[in-house]
Chain A
Amino acid sequence: MKRVFLIIAVAGVLANARVADAAGLTVVSKFVAGDIPTTPIAAAWNKAREVVIPMSSQIVAKPRAFDLPKGKSSARRVSVRSINNGKAIAFLLEWEDVTENSTVDNPAAYRDAAALEFPLKAVGKEKTHFAMGHEDMAVNIWQWKADLEDRYKAVPIGASYPGEGQEYSIELYQGRLYDLPKKQRKGPVEDLIAEGFNTLTLQDSQNVMGKGNWSGGKWRVVFYRSLTTEDKEHVAFKKRGITPIAFAIWDGGNLEKDGQKSVTTWHELRVE
């Protein structure tokens, strides 16, 4: 009986403890021995703790989500899990989306998409803006696009949508030569860099892989990459390290593209 009282008392005390504050939530990348999961349905994902992160409409820069058909972006939360094996890291994003929008073959079609964002200089998450970073405070963005899932080789690189060129680039912004033909996609995820709005640019090397699956009104998308790369413009993850992380989701069914999307502010990724 005493044990029961003890359990109740301790639970009562702990129930009052703060579990999250304005510092944001923490996604823990679970260490596993062996291979990391590279598909959304892999059983290994059950080993990782799910963190559900609230999302809001992108309103910082124009075009704002206020102008969308719904008057706001669709995704209100995203479920995140991560697993690493000391060499590579994988993320699973899951969110509700009643329509699958996987083609952009006609001008009225908009794709579903999702992105992870990391600051390249992690001197403190307050030091760069969650929305595309800042000049001299670049962010590395991994963007999965539903229409690239099975035909990434067929879609012209550099075009956000068919017929659209690369309107902006960090290289033009910095006065550097912009050499698209050197950049090649290896999958449905584009590895990008930005130093603020209108500077989004494909990285010279594309190292992020991914796989998406839509069923039952839900997208499940995996992103994966080696923990480190030789490219200084790619985020590097350290074992037992902490990196700010943010998320974005586009709902093609709500005509969301480019800056019109759901976003989060900075949260925290802790690599086991």
Chain B
Amino acid sequence: MKKIIFLIAPLIFFQSAFSIANAAVEKEKKVIHSTPPIDYVGLKNPLTEADPKTLPDNDPNILAGKKLYEATCMACHGEKSNGKGSEAEGFVTPIKPVDLTDPEAIAKLDQGYIFWRINEGGLDDPFYSAMPAWSDDFTETEKWQIILYVYKNAGVSPKAKK
């Protein structure tokens, strides 16, 4: 029996150490967000100053944003904004479709940052992701409506202004 313990103990130790190290790396990865170009810094949503999370389901901007989200974003980011859409599985590297409900994701960012990501997508450094650049597909108003819905559907608020 002692032999068995001697054999299993190192395995359990390394497995635990590996899991802890992995979790630490994952956590570290999550909090790194790129700096947007200066044109996007401090952009405010012109449709409302309210926290999108608190807007009612029947708010016209929320309804419009929902329709656009479901037609385009939902395929990857999912109906519940958890990054598990029907098209998400093949987009693995270097980053998966973002889980928008993650407290380390859009909840740590302001709406101007999301406007940047929607506008320019992930084609360039440092993203190289599957996120399309939607700059020509939506009007400015539509992009802000999508942003409002994204926060509301994910159940998180934008980063509070300092």
Tell me the minimal C-beta distance from A21 to chain B in angstroms: 8
Q: For B93, what are the chain A residues with a Cβ–Cβ distance below 8 Å?
A: 22-24, 125-126, 130, 265-267
Tell me the minimal C-beta distance from A114 to chain B in angstroms: 15
> Does any Cβ of A come within 8 Å of B130's Cβ?
yes
Which of A2, A66, A264 is in CB contact (< 8 Å) with B1? A2
Tell me the minimal C-beta distance from A201 to chain B in angstroms: 20
In chain B between 52 and 92, which residues have their CB closer than 8 angstroms to a CB of chain A?
A: 72, 75-76, 86-92
A264-B130 contact in complex given A10-B8, A13-B8, A17-B15, C-beta closer than 8 Å: no
Q: For B117, what are the chain A residues with a Cβ–Cβ distance below 8 Å?
A: none
> Does any Cβ of B come within 8 Å of A101's Cβ?
no
Render A1-31 as a binary contact track against B, CB cut-off 8 A, 1 for contact: 0100110011001101110001111000000
Render B1-30 as a binary contact track against A, CB cut-off 8 A, 1 for contact: 101100110011001001100100000000
A60 close to B92 (CB less than 8 A): no
Q: For B86, what are the chain A residues with a Cβ–Cβ distance below 8 Å?
A: 72
Q: For A54, what are the chain B residues with a Cβ–Cβ distance below 8 Å?
A: 89-90, 92
B90 close to A59 (CB less than 8 A): no
B: contact size bracket: 20 to 34
Q: Which chain A residue shows the least CB distance to B29?
A: A22
Q: For A6, what are the chain B residues with a Cβ–Cβ distance below 8 Å?
A: 4, 7-8
Q: For B87, what are the chain A residues with a Cβ–Cβ distance below 8 Å?
A: 56-57, 59, 72
Which of A14, A57, A61, A262 is most buried by chain B, counting CB atoms within 10 A of its CB?
A57
Q: For B12, what are the chain A residues with a Cβ–Cβ distance below 8 Å?
A: 13
A56 close to B89 (CB less than 8 A): yes
> Does any Cβ of A come within 8 Å of B155's Cβ?
no
> Does any Cβ of B come within 8 Å of A128's Cβ?
yes
> Does any Cβ of A come within 8 Å of B43's Cβ?
no
Could you give 16 example pairs across A and B, Cβ below 8 Å? A6-B8, A13-B8, A18-B22, A57-B87, A59-B75, A59-B130, A59-B132, A60-B130, A66-B72, A72-B87, A126-B94, A129-B123, A130-B93, A131-B123, A131-B130, A265-B94
Known: A72-B87, A125-B94. 12 other contacts (CB 8 A): A10-B11, A13-B11, A22-B95, A24-B92, A56-B88, A56-B130, A60-B121, A60-B130, A72-B75, A76-B89, A126-B126, A264-B92
Residues of A in contact with B (beta carbons under 8 Å apart): 2, 5-6, 9-10, 13-14, 16-18, 22-25, 53-57, 59-61, 64, 66, 72, 76, 125-131, 262-267
Residues of B in contact with A (beta carbons under 8 Å apart): 1, 3-4, 7-8, 11-12, 15, 18-19, 22, 72, 75-76, 86-96, 121-123, 126, 128, 130-132
